[in-house]
Structure 1
Amino acid sequence: MNVEELVRDTLREQAAEQPSAGPGFADRVLAVRRRRRTRRLAAVAAATAAVVAVAVSVPLLDSGKSDVRPAGVVQQNGITGHPDQSPPRLLIAAGQTALAAYYTWRTVPQTDDRGIGVRTYWLLDPGTGTYVKDSRWSFVAVAPGLRTAAVLEQNLPVRRIGLLDLATRKVERWIPVEHRVGALAFSYDGTRLLATTYDENPDVRAKAQNDKGGWDWGPAFATSSRTGFYDLGVASGKGSWTGVVPDRNDIARGDFSFSRTGDQVYARVIGDRDGTQQFYDLDGAKIAAPADEKYLRADVDARLSPNGRLAALGLTKEVAPGKSYSSIRDPRTGKEITKVRGGDLLAWVDDRRLIAWERASGLDELYRARLVLVTIGSDKIVPLSGVQKDMYDELKAWHPVFARR
């Protein structure tokens, strides 16, 4: 089966499927706790349905060799981009996916050779379509629907989880926990929340000598203080804690995420540099990866396509400055189906398009990149953000957080 046949079959399947709970289900559950918002939620649901309809009906782009480089805002086929903004000030979105937030990172020294990594978030205001700084939170996960975020206060790990209304910027509910939490992730349908627990701050940093003979902050090598995870219902705030013992001494952070079905959890193997993932059942026992996630990598954020038939893998080659390719594979066999533009695949937009980082510098220069929209079967890209001047400078770089809308 070639790429065009695969895409056609995928779209036919989508058209034949009955509607499911879909993006934003968790927020609709939470909506019963909100007052005087019925009209606003109805409008959001209608707008989301319209966007999905547009995304499904857009024809496959023709293959080509040239980039699409608009000078200002991009607004076409459900795409909203701002190629002149880095970091972005206005909404970036395509199809069913939006940039829900982004954060910057800095190391706050604690001693001469030890520090703590601190995130500062800019969260999407769904009413104005702008990103607003909110320095209250050390960790943020955004639920499908872009209405609710799960947040942790500063000074990780913490003993409560907040559910934040993105429109009002108010915490609607606090979920107290006995085991301190250092990371959060929603299930694919948004109805459950996975909270990774730690005994100590997982963002401890240490000074390490760089290639130029100077010193930079990097991950501290120590015994991981990760203790396990909570599996919580978003609507009820109730759930259970499961203990997981780390395998060995290495870098501190090893956050858990749900599998696509939510029946398992996984984390990058602590200390592994190749993106190897380890799966666990909900009782904390190590298990083999599910059949459709066996060949994925923990360091490639996009993972499975919405219909589950394609797997996003890592960078395969850079053929020229500003032109790189990543592998798209059959998730059950690991066999490569095709390659797609982009050096770092971040999120699926639909079953044939993704958002990626793409290099915007020469191969021998500082690594500069921008967010772009890439399409299976096409060599064209659509820039969505301006260029990050130095992806590895912690004082300059910004890090995207995507969610389905």
Structure 2
Amino acid sequence: MNVDELVRDALREQAAELAAPGPGFADRVLAVRRRRRTRRLVSVAAATTAVVAVAVGVPLLDTGKEEVRPAAVLDGNGVLAHPDQSPPRDLIAAGRSVLAAYYTAEPAVRSDDRAALTRTYWLLDPETGRYEKDDRWSFVAVAPGARTAAVLERELPARRIGILDLATGRVDRWIPVDRGVGGLAFSRDGGRLVATTYGEHPDLMVRMKAGQKEGFPADEVWVPQFSGKSSRSGFYVLDVADGKGAWSPVAKRRDVNGRQDFAFSRDGRLLYAQVIGGSDGMQQFYDLAGNEVAAPADERHLRSDVGARLSPDGSLAALGLTAEAKDKSWSEIRDPRTGKEVARVRGAELLAWVDDRRLIAWERAPGPGEYRPRLVLVTIGSEKVVPLSGVREPDDYLETVEWQPVFVERRA
């Protein structure tokens, strides 16, 4: 295996909890690096699943029509689109889902051979409906309703968790912790936080001396740590209202990356995290004491690297592109309990459900050339797409990570 293949495999193994870069990211990185032999390669937790093509011979859900209309407030269930903005400056939302934040990332050099991928966030101001840069935080998890967020300060792992009012930009209170925290996620009702603990920074990168291998230019590149190097130690489950909770250890695993955060299951009774190369949707479930357990019946056929997961009513599961997809423009919808495919929907990466038949996805923008995704609204059983954002242009210089969306449920 040459270094090109090692880098590609490392990139494909990485996955961020809330939003991965898009399908084909590893290949785009390598293609650009080959064109620009003297530039540095900056890589990030990557790759989403690969996906599917045409509809199957089963009944598809009704397509309906979509009207894009302006709105000035966060509440409601209409469509707020800004197809001329990338990254977005003004509120993007559709149905139950709202773009609550987005982030970019770049490596911060720590030594000759180590760096840490460092995020910069733009957070939604729920009063103005605009995204404002806030570089105080290394990690942000937005609560359902998009009015409150849990934040970690710049140096990871962090020893306290802030509860941030998104309207005022002020931290209402701090939750101290005994062990360093690197990742956060809210429960579906917003009442609890799971805080993943690490012994060292979860987004460490290592310098690869590229010129030592055939086919690489005579420069050096930063790549994520390979799987099996995670310092993850366990998690806290905390009550958001009073900050109380307990820490639970988890056993070390070789099939996890540097960052492999925990998230709540649908009903909040279990947690799950990604594993690399697993047969059950690349995910492992845990009870709240940190013991590995079987997946719940309605989440057994999900994939940890597909953000949308279950539909609001729980009857459909969002999956990724299948190997047969040639134009990378269709994704699978399955029965979550049987794993049987029941429909297909436009989109190369399914990010969030809008309602029980529509989703927000990354979709390839029309035209030739490299993968140029935009956020779109898609409907099961329809080829129609409604653009929500402008096109996310590839960064030829790869000096920063392309902006990554953070979607949450919006509530009245």
- Asked whether the two chains share a fold, i.e. TM above 0.5, the reply is yes
Task: Quickly say closer, same or farther: Cα 1:155–1:163, change in 2 above 3 A.
Answer: same
Q: What's the offset of the Cα at 1:318?
A: 4.4
1:325 is aligned, of 327, 330, 340, to 330
Q: How many angstroms does 1:250 deviate by? A: 5.6
Deviations 1:318-360 (A, max 9, x none): 454xx60000000000000000000000001111111000112
| TM-score of the two chains, using structure 1 as the length reference | 0.79
- 1:249 and 1:276 map into 2 onto residues whose CA distance is 10
Matched, 1:375 2:370: no
- Could you tell me which runs of 5 or more consecutive residues in structure 1 were left unpaired when the two chains were aligned: 8-59, 63-67
Superposed CA RMSD: 2.4
CA contact (8 A) 1:83 1:385 kept: yes
2:363–2:376 Cα contact (<8 Å) kept: yes
Match of 1:27 in 2: none
- Give the 5 Å matches for 1:307-326: 307-316=313-322, 318-320=325-327, 324-326=329-331
Is the counterpart of residue 285 in structure 1 residue 302 in structure 2? no
- Write out per-residue CA displacement over residues 54-95 of structure 1, whole angstroms, 9 at most, x where no aligned residue: xxxxxx426xxxxx9x9xx85397100111101000000001
**SS, match of residue 144 in structure 2:** coil
TM-score by length of 2: 0.77
Q: Is the 8 A contact 2:321 2:348 kept in 1?
A: yes
Unmatched 5+ residue regions in structure 2? 1-57, 72-76
- 2:383 aligned counterpart, secondary structure: coil
Rounded Cα–Cα distance in structure 2 between residues aligned with 1:293 and 1:250: 20
The CA distance in 1 between the partners of 2:255 and 2:358, in whole Å, is: 39
For residue 56 of structure 1, what is the aligned residue in structure 2?
Answer: none
**Residue of structure 1 equivalent to 2:263:** 257
Per the TM alignment, residue 394 of structure 1 is displaced from its structure 2 partner at its CA by 5.2
Aligned to 2:135: 135
2:342 aligned partner: 337
User: What's the CA shift for 1:206?
Assistant: 1.5
Between the aligned partners of 1:133 and 1:204, the Cα distance in structure 2 is: 24
Rounded to whole Å, the distance in 2 between the matches of 1:404 and 1:202 is 27
Q: Is the 8 A contact 2:345 2:381 kept in 1?
A: yes
Match of 1:61 among 47, 56, 64: 64
Q: 1:398: how far off?
A: 0.2
Alpha-carbon distance in 2 for matches of 1:344, 1:74: 24
Match of 1:207 in 2: 207
Q: 2:239 is matched with which residue: 224, 233, 240?
A: 233
Distance across 1 between alignment mates of 2:356 and 2:390: 25
Contact 1:104 1:394 in 2 (8 A): no
Give the equivalent residue in structure 1 for 2:5.
none
* CA deviations over 1:243-293 (Å, ceiling 9, x no partner): 002212763111000000011000001576996000011111111100000
**Greater RCO, CA 8 A, separation 6+:** 2
- 2:397 paired with 1:402: no
Q: Quick check: 1:296–1:303 contact (8 Å CA) kept in 2?
A: yes
- In 2, the alpha carbon distance for the partners of 1:186 and 1:232 equals 10
| CA gap 1:396/1:181 in 2 versus in 1, 3 angstroms | closer
- Do the aligned residues in 1 keep the contact of 2:377 with 2:385 (CA within 8 Å)? yes
Give every structure 1 segment of 4 or more consecutive aligned residues whose post-TM-superposition deviation is greater than 6 Å.
271-274
Separation in structure 1 between the aligned mates of residue 298 and residue 395 of structure 2, nearest angstrom: 32
What is the rounded CA distance, in whole Å, between the counterparts of 2:179 and 2:379 in structure 1?
43
**Aligned-pair distance for 1:396?**
5.4
Contact kept? 1:83, 1:386, Cα under 8 Å:
yes
Aligned residue for 1:223, secondary structure, equals coil
Instruction: Look up the match of 1:75.
Output: 70
Query: In the aligned structure 1, how far is the partner of 2:280 from the partner of 2:395?
Result: 19
Alignment partners' CA distance in 2, 1:107 and 1:327? 34
Q: Does 1:112 find its partner at 2:112?
A: yes
Query: CA, structure 1 residues 354+250, in 2 after alignment: closer, same or farther (shift >3 Å)?
Result: closer
User: 2:309: which partner in 1?
Assistant: 303
Identity %: 61
- After superposition, the Cα gap between the structure-2 partners of 1:215 and 1:81, relative to the gap in structure 1 and judged at 3 Å, is farther
Q: SS of the counterpart of 1:347?
A: strand
The question of 1:359 aligning with 2:354 is answered no
8 Å CA contact 1:324–1:343 kept in 2: the answer is yes
Say if 2:125 is the partner of 1:125: yes
Measure how far apart 1:361 and its partner are.
Answer: 6.1
How many angstroms apart in 2 are the aligned matches of 1:395 and 1:224? 23
What corresponds to 1:33 in structure 2? none
> What is the letter of the counterpart of residue 61 of structure 1?
G
Residue in structure 2 matched with residue 98 of structure 1 by the alignment: 98
